[in-house]
Amino acid sequence: MNKDLFAAIESLEKEKGISKEVLFEALEVALVSAYKRNFQSASAVNVTLDRETGDIKVFSELKVVEEVESDQTEVSLYEARVYDPHCQLGDTVEMEVTPQEFGRIAAQTAKQVVIQRIREAERELIYENFVDRTEEVITGLVRRFEQRNVIVDLGRTEAVLPVEEQIPHERYRQGERVKAFILDVKKTTKGPQIIVSRTHTGFLKRLFEMEVPEIYEGIVEVKAAAREAGHRSKLAVISHNQDIDPVGACVGPKGSRVQAISNELKGEKIDIIKWSEETEEYIGNALSPAKVASVMINYEEKTASVVVPDNQLSLAIGKEGQNARLAARITGWKVDISSETQYTEKSLSAIGLTGDVEEVPGDEDAEKPGSPAGDEAETEQSEENEAAENEKDTVVEAENEETVIENESTGEEEPEEEMKQDD
């Protein structure tokens, strides 16, 4: 029996990874529980298990009395002095009370307690193993679904992928291998609870660390990241080696590295930008893939006014403002984006000028009848027309006078007088 016991303990140590000492202590506690239950002992009981021979001994604390009324709690002075020659009446003596056989019920009780302690030791071991692995990426198999949550099998334990930590519109199949980010490890009455995520920004960073050797070795550093899971992400990187381009290292040959990460994230678009100490340059890079004309910083309000070419405005803002939101999130600045035309109109409005830039102020008023400028223009025009008519009349009169003078000189006026007489 002792050999079987030792063989079982060694087997549990190999299979479960629990040390022998923990199992021996669990077994001693189990034997104490079994003894008290089956032998109705109310006194303090201690069980020792020899680690080499496997011998089990039960010791109980008994009170030394003259006449024994209860064998479970008292012992006579004569019997007590066999273990302790100096004991007196009223003293407490620890004596061996090992029964010949615990019996089937005692063994079953001990077995249950041992199993319970083994489970507790396993849970503690799992907790200690995973609590130090927080913010790491693990790989598991989709085991089952519970209220839209995905249960991932990690081998020795299971992890929970809550619905809020799942990539939108992503579908999972039982038996499918999936990668996730360890978000938190909690202790519960049912054992350690491991919460994993596929939407956390740290998951994106860890994937790049696994895929890009330069990041793993510390040559390229990820300074910041922003993410809208399932749609778009931005990653700001810097190189500590002037000969290595941080953006190129992350993209990889023909985009192979970033494409592998995008495939893992179900087609999520990833913008890799170069981090800079210059705030203007950093904000301009953050709005990639749009091109930026200028960036103006307000350090007091921590806002940035960005001007982009007219044809780049929609690209800078992004679908439903997504690109602008990610740029603000990754830089930590409030970003206000406007086109060059909008910025010019704002500038003119600020100094009191309105309308189209190419128009001359006042021309529009001159064309409107009823306005002061329009009335003045009409008056001037009428005066000019009247002067032109007078000049024309003067010219006609002058021509008539010249005709009369010519007739008088040639004598052509006489026939006119004769015709008057005839009449």
| Gap between the Cα atoms of 283 and 332, Å rounded | 10
Asked if residue 251 lies in contact with residue 221, where contact means CB atoms within 8 angstroms, the answer is no
Least confident of 171-180, 226-235, 379-388, 399-408: 399-408
Q: 240 phi and psi, to 5 degrees?
A: -95, 5
Task: Inform me whether the pLDDT recorded for 134 exceeds 70.
Answer: yes
Q: Is 85 helix (H, G, I), strand (E, B) or coil?
A: coil
Six token digits for residue 406: 């010519």
Task: State the pTM of this model.
Answer: 0.65
Three-state secondary structure call for residue 365: helix
> What is the band of 36 on the pLDDT scale with cuts at 50, 70, 90?
confident
Locate tokens 């008292």: which residue?
Answer: 74
Packing angle of the helix pair 279-286, 322-331 (nearest 10 deg): 150
Give the pLDDT of residue 146. Answer: 92
**Residues facing residue 57 across a β-bridge:** 48
In angstroms and rounded to an integer, the radius of gyration of the C-alpha atoms of the chain is 50
87: Cβ contacts below 8 Å, ≥ 6 apart: 64, 77, 80, 81, 93
Q: Specify the CATH superfamily of domain 133-197.
A: Nucleic acid-binding proteins (2.40.50.140)
- The predicted structure's pLDDT at residue 5: 66
Cβ neighbours of residue 30 closer than 8 Å, sequence gap 6 or more = 109, 110, 111, 112, 113, 114, 117
Residues with Cβ within 8 Å of 239's Cβ and at least 6 positions away in sequence, in order, are 214, 219, 220, 221, 245, 246, 249
Mean pLDDT over 83-106 rounds to 74
- SS3 helix, strand, coil % of the chain, rounded to 5? 50, 25, 30
Position 38 pLDDT exceeds 70: yes
If you average pLDDT over residues 136-140, what whole number do you get? 95
CATH topology of domain 2-128: N Utilization Substance Protein A; Chain:P; domain 4 (3.30.1480)
Q: What is the pLDDT of residues 113-133, one digit of tens each?
A: 777 777 887 888 889 889 989
pLDDT above 90 as % of the chain? 46
Cα dihedral: 342, 347, 352, 358 (round 10): -60
As its CATH architecture, domain 277-359 has 2-Layer Sandwich (3.30)
pLDDT at 400 over 60: no
**Of 226, 219, 255, whose CA–CA distance to 240 is shortest?**
219
Per-residue pLDDT reduced to its tens digit, 250-305: 999 999 999 999 999 999 999 999 999 999 999 999 999 999 999 999 999 999 99
The residue type of 341 is T
pLDDT band at 412 (very low <50, low <70, confident <90, very high): very low
Contact 56, 35 (CB under 8 A): no
Q: pLDDT averaged over the chain?
A: 80
Q: Which residue has the higher pLDDT, 214 or 78?
A: 214
Contacts of 63-71 with CB under 8 Å at 24 or more apart are 63/90, 63/91, 63/92, 64/88, 64/89, 64/90, 64/91, 64/92, 64/93, 65/89, 65/90
Q: Is 278 helix (H, G, I), strand (E, B) or coil?
A: coil
Q: Determine the pLDDT at residue 386.
A: 53
Domain coordinates in residue numbering, the chain: 2-128, 133-197, 277-359, 376-413
pLDDT digits (tens, 9 = 90+) for 224-237: 999 999 999 999 99
Classify strands 220-228 and 92-96 as parallel, antiparallel or unpaired. Answer: unpaired
Same fold: 2-128 with 277-359? no
DSSP code, position 310: G
What is the DSSP track for 335-347?
EEEEEHHHHHHHH
Separation between Cα atoms, residue 134 and residue 182, nearest integer Å: 5
DSSP string across 258-277: HHHHHHHTTS-EEEEEE--S
| Residue 418 reports pLDDT greater than 80 | no
Per-residue pLDDT, averaged over 409-418, amounts to 40
How far is residue 265's CA from residue 170's CA, in Å, rounded to a whole number? 9
Give the strand pairing for 56-65 and 137-146: unpaired
Instruction: Name the pLDDT band for 404 (thresholds 50, 70, 90).
Output: very low
Q: Can you say how many angstroms the Cα of residue 128 is from the centroid of all Cα atoms in its chain?
A: 26
Rounded Cα–Cα distance for residues 361 and 353 (Å):
9
